[in-house]
A and B are shown apart, each in its own frame.
Chain A
Amino acid sequence: MTGFQPPRRLRVEHRTRFGYDRTVAASYNECRIQPRTEPRQQILESHVAIEPCTWRYDYVDYWTTSVIAFEVRIPHDTLTVTGTTVADIAEAADPPQVDWARLRSAQTTDAFAESLVATARTEPVPEVVELATEAAAGKPPHEAARAVSDAITAVMEYAPGSTGVQTFAAEAWAARRGVCQDFAHLAVGAMRSVGIPARYVSGYVQSHSGAAIGETVAGQSHAWIEWWTGGWYGWDPTNGKPVGSAHLAVGRGRDYGDVPPVRGIVSSAGQSRLDVSVTLTRLR
């Protein structure tokens, strides 16, 4: 039964704070934390506050992600970037499906070339390729993709703090542990190895689906994947679930490197501490 479901309305506040033990004279950064309106999600309100900030420039990048480039050219000891978004999010619709022949046709492989090539971060080790090949065997593309992702999810342990943003799929695989980013890297790498176009998605997820309307709960910035077997289909390998109205997407790319939330350089020889907090409030 597919009755009309009203979209979920979420308010997301994503705060990133860098603290420096030595005063920083200048820094140049880019942040990718603003979701954009797309078929499954409608943005009602969105703003990013940067403190301190001497100049900012908003643009949409190659991956159609909304980016804010900003300069901080005054001495500072902390840098805080706070993004606030209110969005209506619908459940995903089931995409049309194609068979393996279509998927492997020159036309498809050329059109989705960027989602078929392994990158350094997603490069699957032979063991992963083997695992993916076995999982996909004998299944139509969509089921094969699901099976490949499940195979990864089954082996990997979700262990917060076990890896960092610069961890490659191969390293996470060797440890058999990781966070959402590693699950996503492994899954897209494995999928591409069997010829299924797949991409990395950065965004937010409301994990406490039981939270009451109006209640603010801690959430997280999250990463999941999308594969193409006739249309793009979102899947959350960390949770082993399809992407739905609890997932708010910010950007897509080949891997984390194409959609880092905050990235920049500072003129400092000192150490920095990073605090990230994400809070989600279901408004409807």
Chain B
Amino acid sequence: MLSRIAESLFWIGRYLERADGTARILDVQLRLLLEDPWLDEDASCRALLSVMGHPVDAARVDPVDGREMLELLAQSDAPSSIVSSLAAARENARRAREVVSTEMWESLNTTRNEVVAGRWRSRSPYRLFAWVRDRVAVVTGIVDATMSRDQAWHFLVLGRYLERADMTARLIAAQDARGGSGAGWPLVLRSCGAFEAFLRTYGAAASEDRAAEFLLLDRLFPRSVVHALLEADACLAQLSTDEAYSAARLVGRDDARRLLGRARTELEYRPLAEVYADLGTHMDRVQRVCSAASDAVAQRFFPGGKATAWVREHS
């Protein structure tokens, strides 16, 4: 398929997952601000903004409140806000219009139209988050139910899982940054639909420490970092099947796979206590690896897509 189209599909996957992940992260934060009277609003909002890549100027004196954070991460024109992500997903689909099914396109288009209309600006943020999760679930469902498992689908899913690993890492980092009692973990689990699965998995042993472990390492839970990294790797393996060098035999020659594999084994085989001791740093590493893997994918599959500047010459 065309490199440019593959790139668009990859980014549709990433943007949708980003909108979804951001909605989940914000949901936890806003609920905690409401429910945890000991939480320092200013400090925790600053911490979250920093985790989301929007650090507040340290010199700033006036406090950051939930409203401001919500505006920036959900509704502003900032490049990674929920609104921007949904619009960008739709723009990418528009670019890849002829490989995207009509159903999927219409779903993305109506989603973006509602965003543009700004109707839910007046509604409660929880309804917004629920709506975003629903819309992303609908599109994801259409993708999985209607797209052939060809390259197009694999690029989209690769984008989805790379972004998911990144987003879950940020979710964990955000909870870690809020610090304190760890009262937030159940909410974190709930925000990604993991609460029941977590309880079933750990039973009586379920504790707050284990929540981070579950979200990080559980191979079966679809939103865990390790699961996302495994799925991304599987996509890359599929995309490489007809390469001159067999990806199955020389995984290490594929930059993206090597990066993801190393990050995953770091998490899986390092003593858990070490990871816990510096959760923030480890999550930051996951996020960087996802970004580097994304660049490696671009370099390999989407080269030369940039328009060349031509200069006229004559004698």
Contact = CB atoms under 8 A, between A and B. Distances in A.
Direct A–B touching, Cβ under 8 Å: yes
Interface of A: 16, 18, 25-27, 29, 165, 260-269, 272, 274, 276
A274 B315 contact: yes
A96 B166 CA distance: 85
B311 A265 contact: yes
Contact of A18 (B309, B310, B313): B313
6 contacts: A25-B308, A266-B310, A266-B311, A267-B311, A268-B311, A269-B309
A-B pairs with lowest CB-CB distance, top 10: A265-B310, A263-B314, A262-B315, A267-B308, A16-B315, A260-B314, A261-B315, A266-B311, A264-B313, A265-B312
A165 B314 contact: yes
A130 to B, nearest CB: 32
Main secondary structure of the interface of A (DSSP, over half): strand
Contacts of B312: 263-265
Interface string B298-315: 000000000011111111
A268 B308 CA distance: 8
B308 A272 contact: no
Please indicate which of the listed interface residues B309, B313, B315 has the most CB atoms of chain A within 10 Å of its own CB.
Answer: B315
A165 B313 contact: no
Contact of B309 (A16, A267, A276): A267
Interface residues of B, number: 8
A269 to B, nearest CB: 6
Contacts, number: 41
Contacts of A165: 314-315
Contacts of A266: 310-311, 313
B272 to A, nearest CB: 50
Given A263-B315, A264-B313, A266-B311, 11 more contacts: A18-B313, A25-B308, A260-B314, A261-B315, A263-B312, A263-B314, A265-B310, A266-B310, A269-B309, A274-B315, A276-B315
Contacts of B309: 267-269
B310 A263 contact: no
Contacts of B311: 265-269, 272
A265 B313 contact: yes
B163 to A, nearest CB: 33
Contacts of A16: 315
B5 to A, nearest CB: 23
Interface in B278-315: 308-315
Contact of B314 (A27, A262, A269): A262
Contacts of A26: 308
Contacts of A260: 314-315
B315 to A, nearest CB: 4
A77 to B, nearest CB: 14
A267 B310 contact: yes
A263 B310 CA distance: 13
A43 to B, nearest CB: 21
Contact of B313 (A25, A272, A276): A272
A266 to B, nearest CB: 5
Nearest to A262: B315
Contacts of B313: 18, 27, 29, 262-266, 272
